[in-house]
Structure formats: structure tokens, C-alpha cells
Amino acid sequence: MSTLAIDKSGPRRKVKYGSMSRDRVWAMRWSYFFLALFAAFSLLPPIYMLITSLKSSAEISAATNPWWVYHPTLSNYVELLTSNQFLRFFWNSAMVSIVVVAITMLISVPSAFALSRMRFWGSATLATGVFLTYLIPDTLLFLPLFKMFALFGDLTGIQLINRWYVLLLLYPTLTVPFATWIMIGYFASIPKELDEAALIDGASWLQTLTRIFIPVALPGLIAATIFAFTVSWAQFLYPLVFTTSTDQLVMPVGIITTLIKGDVFNWGQIMTGALLGAAPPLLIYAFLMDYYIAGLTAGATKG
Amino acid sequence: MAEVSLRNVVKRYDDVEAVRGIDLDIADHEFVVLVGPSGCGKSTTLRMIAGLEDITDGDIVIGGDVVNDVPPKDRDIAMVFQNYALYPHMTVAENMSFGLRLKRYPKAEIKSRVAEAARMLDITDLVDRKPKQLSGGQRQRVAMGRAIVRNPKVFLFDEPLSNLDAKLRVQMRIEIKKVHQKVRTTTVYVTHDQVEAMTLADRVVVMNKGRIEQIGTPNELYHNPATRFVAGFIGSPAMNFLPCRLEEASGKLNVRLTDRLSFPLPGSRAARYQNVPRGEKLLLGIRPEHLTEGNGHAAPGVEPFDAVLDVTEPMGMETLVYFTLEGTQVCGRVDPGAGARDGAPLRMAVDLNNMHLLNEGTGVVL
């Protein structure tokens, strides 16, 4: 019945077949080129630190190739790791960072949950406000904060300045807003039906948070944890201003104030200290990264 | 198990009225389907029964208790969502038992209830899997299992089959019906698919623009629609509507479509429309199955006419034909052997014993 004529000569070949994959190859080449460039740029300083940390003071000041170690020595490491002072800095840093991470998560997770899920008057404005506070730099805040704590000490007799634990109050001003913002984003990506299902199943808000939201938003939680830890571990300005006694110092400030004596820079130990100081965030990052990816693939998407 | 009653329930968002005063009584064990186009307020109504939305006015009664201010968890209901809403970090068994675990049921009972529901839904082999490892149909079964294990007073379904492909949808529809036959829990089911509504429901509630258009059994709605909306919404392909007028000619009542075309009414219909004012603008409602090929010897009330077909759709057991009747595109169903072809003329017949007359202005079926 059909009178349609079918051309049996076969389809014509396009000449430029496979151009899609050729484009991709070039995209790969360019991206590897820039990645290599970036890797070199960011890895050279730590490599230089490692090289310098393996040299004696004499070799550092000698006029030899600075990128090569002629007489490797671990003396810088031995000295630092057997010095009570350095271990004290390390301990203070660890204490401060761990407690700050805990405080940050305890505040930001529930507040992010409230801001993203409980509709109340002004919640949207509040969410934006939380983020805006993050935009105020610490260089602008440290003087008023110092005055506040000084006044607080005068009025109550409780002296917080020059105590390592004052940092537990200061760091969350940096970590909580951003961590909250990250968590709001993650919680917002959880479908609304999930908490409605939990609500109907009989869960309270708190149970919905602890048994549904936190497990499902684990990757976000880890991202926020990494952020809070990195910020507290590396923070320099606040401890420099608020702590002065050697036994109260954290690592970044401790290394600078004790290893630079006048105009004498103990470069070998400074570099060793910096490397050792960079290790914990690196380790935590490496460990949590695995977890982070595992969390992503373990079904943390909507059912 | 329980009855559910809605008394003049209203839902207003700021200045938008989503639900405009609904009265509905659902009997114990009954399967009621709320159906309507999107934005008709059916989902909002369901969510108000669930307690996920506050009601602006009126009362919702479940099992004799007014539950207006009772939180969802204390209403003893279970809900199945369109996107399943399974907890992604829990296994199937954990998903199903979550509610029972929150209520601190004994472990042995939780285990037996989950096993029982899994057996009923044929997902026993899947209980240790995570939702991500399941297909859409399996996830929907788990979502139903989560509802069943709670043994609630009322099941609420919010478009549960909309995310499934056509074949699976038919299969799950039967599955849902089977489950309801077994557990007999009062069920309120929301869908925009009238076929789903017709096949599942004891009674269908057709909603439009925040109001109930008609409540009835699937057959009542199909054969005796109350309004143009219901007549056009229920049934696929939809009912044809043709502008017409009633006129009297030599003592008999005729329905006149145009100057050229009019049909005499059969006796039963003539009696029914006796009091309709002559000359008023009306619509003739005819379902496609009552527009068939004219096979020579006409039965009483079946009137032949000639048509030129625009398009034909062979369905196998029947052929859908589309043609223009006095300026209006209409659809008919003819036998595959009737020789219907695109662009070809065909002798057709209209069965006026099953006709409907509607007031064109108000849309009310007379």
C-alpha cells in the first residue's frame, strides 16, 4: 500500500567523523598542562621547606645550590620533637582545633537545620545575615574583641586574655558562619518529602536531624569539619594578639615567636616546624577525603 | 482502621485559595481517589489530612476525633510519596521499621511485621539492600511496605505511580489493589491520571479549582457525570462536545447541531429533556464509543450520518477515528474491519441512547 521510495544507496559518510573525541583529547592535554603548572606552583614551597629542614644551619647559610641537600641531617626534627616547648605548642593547637571543631558543629548543624527547614519569621533574612558575618575580616574584629575581653576581665575578674582557651571563644566567630552556610546548602538539597516521611513515621525534629539529616548530609558535615579544623589550625592573627606567654601559644605563633630571636632566623627549625605543623590537616584531609567519597557513593541521594 | 471526614475544609495561602471548602465522608475500609488536573487542590487536601499542612478553616476528623491541631505522628496515618522518600542511608528493612523503632516496639514484633509486609509485597530478597540498589518499582514497594508495617488507621498515597514507566504503572496499580484487598485499610489516593482513579477507587472524588466537582463510583462518574468538567475529564479518549439546540418538529423532539444536521431524540431521552427550554444554547456530549461505523440496519436511537475522516489511529482491537462534524473535531471508535482510512469517507452512526445534554453556559449536565 505504501508508495514510499527507499533510497538503497546507503547513507553518505561524513568526512570529519570522530571530531568529538579529537576535541576531547585536546581538552585533556590543555587541562593536564595547566594542572601541572598549578601543581608546580603550589608544591614548590613545601618542597623547598622539606629540603631546608633536612639541612644543618651551616649548610643553609653556605653558598651552595639551595635546591640540593649535600649533608642530610635529621637534627632539626630531633631537636624540635624533643623540645617541651614545641610539643606544648602542638598540644595547644590540637586542643584548640578539636574543641573549636566540636563547638562549631554543635552550633552550626542545628542552626543550619532550623534555617533550612523550619519556616519561621525572618528565617531567610537570618540565613543571609549569618553569611554576611563571615564577610567581616578578622583584622577588623581583633581590636574591638580585645577591648571586650579586657573589659570583661576588669568587670568580672575573670582573665581570658593570654589564656589559650580564649581562642575557643574567638575561632567560632570565623568558623560557625561559614560552616552553617555549607550545611544550609547540603540540607537544602535533601528532598522535603524525606523529613515529611520522618515526621509521619513519628520522628521529632531532633530525631529527624540526628537520624535522617546528619547521616544523609554526611559529606557536607565532613566538608564543614575540614573547613573548621583548617581555619582553627592555621589561624595566626587572633593567637598573636590574644596570647603572649610561651606556654599559652599555639603552633603558628609559637614557631615564629620562639624560633626567630631578634634578627636571627633559625631557618632549619622554622621549616621543620612548619612542615610538622602542616602534617595534621594533611592527614585529616587525606583520611576524611576517602570517607567523603565513600559517603557520596553510599547512596546519599534521594531514594 | 477508621472513617475520615472533611467538613468545609479550606486552605488559603496568603491570598490564594487552594482548597475552597471541601466536604467529604470516607467510610471505613474504603478506597477513595482524589483526581483532578494539577493545581486543583487534591494534593493539598491529602497533605491536610496527613497534617503536613495546617488547615485554614473547617474540620478534619479521623476515627471520630477532630485532628485539626494534632501533629502528623499522632494521627496514626501512613503516607506514600511520589518520589518514594526512602531514607537513602538505611536498608530496606531499616526503612520499613523506622517508624516502629521510633515507637520502641519490641524487636521480635518489628522483625515479624517487616517480614510479613516484605512477603506481601514480594520484596523479601531485597530487605538488606539500600534504596539506591533498587529499581523504581521496587522502591515504590518499599515505600508501601513502610506504610503497611505501621498498621495505621489511614493510608495516604500522593501520586505514587507518577515516577514509573507506563508498563510498571499498570503492574503497580494491580499491586496496590491487591494490597488493599488484603489489609482493608481506609485509603485516600491522589492522582491526576483518571485511568488510575477509575481502576483503583471504590469512589472517585473529582476536584477542580479547589472544589469538589462530583463524588461517585467510577461507573456513576462515567455514565452520569454531573458537570462538563467531569464529563470531559473522566474517560479516554475524552467525551465529544458539540454545540446544539433542542427543537420540536411535528410533535417530536430533535437535537439540532446546524441547519443541515439534526437528529430525532429516542423516547427515553426525549422524556428526560422535555422541560429544557427550546432554542437554548446546549452542548451534545457523546463518548467516542457511541460514535461508531453505521452498519446499515439502524437500532432505535442510533442515527447514521456521513463523515470524512481526518486521522485514524489503529489500536488493534479498535480504531480511533478523528473527523470534523459541523465544525467541531470529534473522536469515534470503529471496528478495525470497518475500512477506516486517513482522508477517506465513512458512514458513521451516533448512539443517542447514551447522549448527554449540557447547558453551554453553566456546564451543568441536564
- Domain, as residue range, for A263: 85-297
Quick one: A125 and A187 in the same domain? yes
- Contact assignment for A215 to B146 by CB distance below 8 Å: no
Whole-complex ipTM: 0.83
pLDDT of residue A77 exceeding 50: yes
Q: Is residue B234 part of a domain?
A: no
pLDDT of residue A294 exceeding 60: no
The CATH number of whichever domain residue A149 belongs to comes to 1.10.3720.10
Q: What's the one-letter identity of residue B271?
A: A
Confidence band of A302 (pLDDT split at 50, 70, 90): very low
Specify the pLDDT at position B297: 63
What digits encode the pLDDT tens for the residues A175-190? 999 899 888 888 888 8
Which of these three, B197, B226, B255, is where a domain ends? B226
Query: For chain A, what is the domain count?
Result: 2
Cβ atoms of residues B48 and B11 within 8 Å: yes
Mean per-residue pLDDT, B282-304: 85
Specify the pLDDT at position B269: 85
What digits encode the pLDDT tens for the residues A39-63? 999 999 999 999 999 988 888 888 8
- Contact assignment for A303 to B84 by CB distance below 8 Å: yes
> Strand B282-286 vs strand B319-325: parallel, antiparallel, or unpaired?
unpaired
Specify the pLDDT at position A16: 57
Specify the pLDDT at position A44: 92
Restricting to A residues 206-225, those with a Cβ less than 8 Å away from any Cβ of B are 207, 211-212, 215-216, 218
Quick one: A55 and A162 in the same domain? no
Quick one: B178 and B38 in the same domain? yes
Confidence band of B1 (pLDDT split at 50, 70, 90): low
Quick one: A51 and A110 in the same domain? no
Specify the pLDDT at position A297: 47
Please name the residue that has the C-alpha cell 626567630: A260
Q: Is residue A258 part of a domain?
A: yes
- Contact assignment for A301 to B132 by CB distance below 8 Å: yes
Query: For chain B, what is the domain count?
Result: 2
Quick one: A205 and A280 in the same domain? yes
Cβ atoms of residues B183 and B223 within 8 Å: no
Restricting to A residues 90-129, those with a Cβ less than 8 Å away from any Cβ of B are none
Q: In the predicted model, what is the mean pLDDT of chain B?
A: 90
- Give A-chain residues touching B102 at CB under 8 angstroms: 201-203, 207
Most B CBs within 10 Å: which of A201, A205, A301, as the mutation test of the B interface? A201
Q: Does B192 touch chain A (CB under 8 A)?
A: no
- Give B-chain residues touching A190 at CB under 8 angstroms: none
Specify the pLDDT at position A8: 65
Confidence band of A11 (pLDDT split at 50, 70, 90): low
Specify the pLDDT at position A293: 62
The CATH number of whichever domain residue B288 belongs to comes to 2.40.50.140
> Strand B240-249 vs strand B282-286: parallel, antiparallel, or unpaired?
antiparallel
Quick one: B260 and B188 in the same domain? no
Quick one: B217 and B121 in the same domain? yes
C-alpha to C-alpha distances, A147 to A139, A152, A153, B292, nearest whole angstrom:
14, 8, 10, 92
Q: Which of B71, B89, B143 lies closest to A299 in CB terms?
A: B89
Query: B345 in helix, strand or coil?
Result: strand
Q: Does B101 touch chain A (CB under 8 A)?
A: no
Quick one: A102 and A51 in the same domain? no
- A227 vs A101, more confident: A101
Share of chain B above pLDDT 70, in %: 99
Mean per-residue pLDDT, A233-247: 90
Quick one: B266 and B210 in the same domain? no
Q: Which residues, in sequence order, are bridge partners of residue B25? A: B5
Q: Is residue B364 part of a domain?
A: no
Confidence band of B188 (pLDDT split at 50, 70, 90): very high
Specify the pLDDT at position A7: 62
Specify the pLDDT at position B227: 93
Q: Is residue A244 part of a domain?
A: yes
Q: Is residue B366 part of a domain?
A: no
Specify the pLDDT at position A15: 56
- How close is the nearest chain A Cα to the Cα of B37, in Å? 21
Most A CBs within 10 Å: which of B75, B94, B98, as the mutation test of the A interface? B98
CB-based burial label for B295 (10 Å; 0-12, 13-18, 19+): middle
Q: Is residue A268 part of a domain?
A: yes
Per-residue 3-state assignment (H helix, E strand, C coil) for chain A: CCCCCCCCCCCCCCCCCCHHHHHHHHHHHHHHHHHHHHHHHHHHHHHHHHHHHCCCHHHHHCCCCCCCCCCCCCHHHHHHHCCHHHHHHHHHHHHHHHHHHHHHHHHHHHHHHHHHHCCCCCHHHHHHHHHHHHCCCHHHHHHHHHHHHHHHHHHHCCCCCCCCCHHHHHCHHHHHHHHHHHHHHHHHCCCHHHHHHHHHHCCCHHHHHHHHHHHHCHHHHHHHHHHHHHHHHHCCHHHHHHCCCHHHCCHHHHHHHHHEECCEECHHHHHHHHHHHHHHHHHHHHHHHHHHHHHHHCCCCCC
Quick one: A151 and A289 in the same domain? yes
Quick one: A274 and A148 in the same domain? yes
First to last CA, chain B: 39
- Contact assignment for B87 to A197 by CB distance below 8 Å: yes
Quick one: B77 and B40 in the same domain? yes
Identify the closest residue of chain B to A200 by CA–CA distance. B73
pLDDT of residue A124 exceeding 90: no
Quick one: A238 and A263 in the same domain? yes
Number of other CB atoms surrounding residue A246 within 10 Å: 12
Which segments within chain B are labelled E, that is strand?
4-13, 16-26, 31-35, 57-62, 65-66, 77-80, 154-158, 186-191, 203-208, 211-216, 240-249, 252-256, 262-264, 282-286, 291-293, 302-314, 319-325, 328-334, 345-351, 356-359
Task: Give just the sign of the alpha carbon dihedral B342, B345, B349, B350.
Answer: positive
Specify the pLDDT at position A14: 57
Quick one: B129 and B268 in the same domain? no
Specify the pLDDT at position B200: 92
C-alpha to C-alpha distances, A2 to A5, A6, A143, B10, nearest whole angstrom:
9, 11, 89, 59
- Domain, as residue range, for B162: 4-226
Q: Does A294 touch chain B (CB under 8 A)?
A: no
Q: Which residues, in sequence order, are bridge partners of residue B152? A: none
Please name the residue that has the C-alpha cell 504503572: B169
CA atoms of A244 and A254, how far apart (whole Å): 9
First to last CA, chain A: 51
Cβ atoms of residues B204 and B36 within 8 Å: no
- Contact assignment for B81 to A197 by CB distance below 8 Å: yes
Quick one: B196 and B305 in the same domain? no
CA atoms of B255 and B322, how far apart (whole Å): 22
